[in-house]
Amino acid sequence: MHSYVVNGGKKLKGSIAVNPSKNASIAILIASLLNEKETVIKNLPKIEEVFRVIEVIESLGARTEWKDDHVFKITPPKEITLKNLNVEAALKTRIMILLIGVLAHKFKNFSLPFSGGCKLGRRTIMPHIYALENFGVNIKVSKDKYEVSHNGLKSCDNVIMYESGDTATENAILAASMIEGKTVLKFASANYQVQDVCFFLKKLGVRFEGIGGTTLTIHGKKSLSKKIDFSITEDPIEAMFFISTAIVTKSSIVIKRCPIEFLELELFKLKKMGFKFNMSEEYKSENGYSRLVDIETFPSNLSAPCEKIYGRPFPGLNIDNLPFFAPIATQAKGETLVHDWVFENRAIYFMELGKMGANVTLADPHRVFIKGPVKLKPADIVSIPALRPSAIMLVAMLGAKGKSILRNVYIIERGYEDLCGRLKSIGADIERVTNDKY
């Protein structure tokens, strides 16, 4: 295990590029198992979550190879086998539930261990169950596994998503993609990673109507067999990490390759709070779909928003970007209400900012009031068992003058590649050390 030692309060300068999306990467790694021929994924981030998914697909029989620094080749097995499934790796990531949508095309009966990931309260798989039952898939939840069965898959022209969840929508897409006929998903997630999965499958020959909307039509194919390469889109959540870091450290930096379609509302709300920034002209990501901009930030005097800040399914403020408004609110004049209605426990984690001098009041498990501006102070904190709440502790530490320690940072390294090195490149004083040093 490692920790980050941060000497905060430093002004940052220079430029930094946003890395490819964690959530799109891991979903597309799973989706590659549908392809009977070689898949090459470009811009694949080297992060712990990606490594765990690679371990799982290798244990299913796939052969993999890093062709270049961030270019990854997957050669599918002639026949997937579950007998050697890497359960230890599978239990560390929630994305494993997407294997149901893939393996339903390979087996009529199989079981999978419970998926893991962030500890964010009660997260049922009912949206997955309700979506996949439309295709004839039956999922029984037992003590420590999912038991999956069907008597043949069928398309469905009226799949109503119980929630507009990203992974539930992806599971339905994976199931529908290899069922001949037309499937229509209603109230689907249109988030960035869902769009990337659609664009990936489109390259394999699956036809889509409505990508980027909440009604998605999928024309499946019986077989997907085509050598392809696909480039992962940039990560709007990582972009928000650097935006919030610039605000809290009162720094002027250039954040390159920001996927603006998935940041426009966040930036608009920040602009109304007083955040000053410039944006470049738009340009395309390597995959030809995502609209990118470079954002130049400036030190700003912020005011609390008049209304609460809350997340919504796309095109609302991204649910994973919401936590970054907590450290931002510590620097805004007035009182900000952050309403994290999705997860039972995540807003409670925001209370850890109080250890750094933040004026945070917990209204209930979903709502916190944050008064500012305050002068953040250094602290010694153990990483929270959830990625984004741990990341906002690091943001606050970068803005707090003095030495802070963020311990057990595996949870952050699930989603961010070489974060210390990249932050150092723009002037942060941060070191990654083994736990026994502190």
Three-state secondary structure readout of the chain: CEEEEEEECCCCCCEEECCECHHHHHHHHHHHHHCCCCEEEECCCCCHHHHHHHHHHHHCCCEEEEEECCEEEEECCCCCCCCCCCHHHHCCCHHHHHHHHHHCCCCCEEEEECCCCCCCCCCCCHHHHHHHHHHCCEEEECCCEEEEECCCCCCCCCEECCCCCHHHHHHHHHHHHCCCEEEEEECCCCCHHHHHHHHHHHHCCCEEECCCCCEEEEEECCCCCCCEEEECCECHHHHHHHHHHHHHCCCCCEEEEEEHHHCHHHHHHHHHHCCEEEECCCEECCCCCCEEEEEEEECCCEECCCCCEECCCCCCCCCCCHHHHHHHHCCEEEEEEEECCCCCCHHHHHHHHHHHCCEEEEEECCEEEEEECCCCCCCEEECCCCHHHHHHHHHHHHHCCEEEEEECCHHHHCCCCCHHHHHHCCCCEEEEEEHHHC
Measure the CA–CA gap between 87 and 60, rounded to whole angstroms.
11
Res 121: pLDDT? 47
Measure the CA–CA gap between 27 and 191, rounded to whole angstroms.
13
DSSP 8-state assignment for residue 1: -
Question: Do 215 and 357 belong together in one domain?
Answer: no
DSSP 8-state assignment for residue 20: B
Point out the domain boundary residue: 216, 231, 246: 231
Question: Do 344 and 420 belong together in one domain?
Answer: yes
Question: Do 273 and 203 belong together in one domain?
Answer: no
Question: Could you identify the residue written with the tokens 């970054």?
Answer: 324
Tell whether omega for the bond before 315 is within 30 degrees of 0, i.e. cis: yes
Point out the domain boundary residue: 197, 231, 265: 231
List the one residue out of 333, 419, 316 whose CA is nearest residue 373. 333
Question: Do 30 and 79 belong together in one domain?
Answer: yes
Q: Give the DSSP H or E segment for 404.
A: strand 402-407
Domain of 132 in residue numbering reads as 22-231
Q: pTM of the prediction?
A: 0.95
Q: What is the pLDDT along the chain (438 residues), one digit of tens a residue?
A: 899 999 999 999 999 999 999 999 999 999 999 999 999 999 999 999 999 999 999 999 999 999 988 999 999 998 999 999 998 898 888 788 999 999 999 999 999 987 654 444 455 789 999 999 999 999 998 878 889 999 999 999 999 999 999 999 999 999 999 999 999 999 999 999 999 999 999 999 999 999 999 999 999 999 999 999 999 999 999 999 999 999 999 999 999 999 999 999 999 999 999 999 999 999 999 999 999 999 999 999 999 999 999 999 999 999 999 999 999 999 999 999 999 988 777 888 899 999 999 999 999 999 999 999 999 999 999 999 889 999 999 999 999 999 999 999 999 999 999 999 999 999 999 999 997 777
Q: Which residues contact 436 (CB under 8 A, 6 or more apart)?
A: none
Q: Look at the chain and report how many structural domains it folds into.
A: 2
Point out the domain boundary residue: 231, 259, 274: 231
Phi and psi at 240, nearest 5°, equal: -70, -35
Q: Which residues contact 409 (CB under 8 A, 6 or more apart)?
A: 1, 2, 3, 4, 383, 390, 432
Question: Do 202 and 163 belong together in one domain?
Answer: yes
Question: Do 200 and 68 belong together in one domain?
Answer: yes
Res 144: pLDDT? 80
Res 125: pLDDT? 86
CB-based contact 210:233 (threshold 8 Å): no
Q: Which residues contact 420 (CB under 8 A, 6 or more apart)?
A: 4, 430, 431, 432
Question: Do 244 and 385 belong together in one domain?
Answer: yes
CATH number at residue 106: 3.65.10.10
Measure the CA–CA gap between 184 and 217, rounded to whole angstroms.
4
Question: Do 238 and 176 belong together in one domain?
Answer: no
Measure the CA–CA gap between 185 and 165, rounded to whole angstroms.
12
DSSP 8-state assignment for residue 157: S
Question: Do 264 and 321 belong together in one domain?
Answer: yes
Question: Do 329 and 224 belong together in one domain?
Answer: no
Radius of gyration over every alpha carbon of the chain, rounded to an integer in angstroms: 22
3-state secondary structure of 113: strand
Question: Do 262 and 347 belong together in one domain?
Answer: yes
Question: Do 334 and 220 belong together in one domain?
Answer: no
